[in-house]
Amino acid sequence: MSTPQANNPLHGLTLETILTRLVAHYGWETLGGKISINCFTKEPGIASSLKFLRKTPWARKKVETLYLRTRFKNTA
């Protein structure tokens, strides 16, 4: 049995989890500055942003890249 996701650091994370952690870490204003898309700058919300990101591969890639580059504080 192969494990195609073995080297994927995002394996097991939902887009909602990724976005929620980024918003908690940066806030909408800073997140909109780092990734300039309207769903982060004009009336931002988790639900509307998820809807856009699920339909727009280039935007989702930017969010995933930022997530991987972000150094979150240890919560444990």
Helices (H) and strands (E) in the chain, counts: 5, 0
- Based on C-alpha coordinates, what's the Rg of the chain? 13
Name the phi and psi angles at 43, rounded to 5. 50, 60
- Structural domain boundaries enclosing 60: 15-68
Question: Would you state the pLDDT for residue 4?
Answer: 64
Q: What is the pTM of this model?
A: 0.84
Q: What is the number of structural domains in the chain? A: 1
As given in the structure block, the two tokens for residue 64 are: 């995933």
User: Is residue 42 one of the residues assigned to a domain?
Assistant: yes
User: Is residue 5 one of the residues assigned to a domain?
Assistant: no
Q: How confident is the model at residue 9 (pLDDT cuts 50, 70, 90)?
A: confident
Kindly report, residue by residue over 24-64, the tens digit of the pLDDT.
999 999 999 999 999 999 999 999 999 999 999 999 999 99
- CB contact at 8 A, 68 and 13: no
DSSP string for residues in 11-53: TT--HHHHHHHHHHHH-HHHHHHHS--HHHHSS--HHHHHHHH
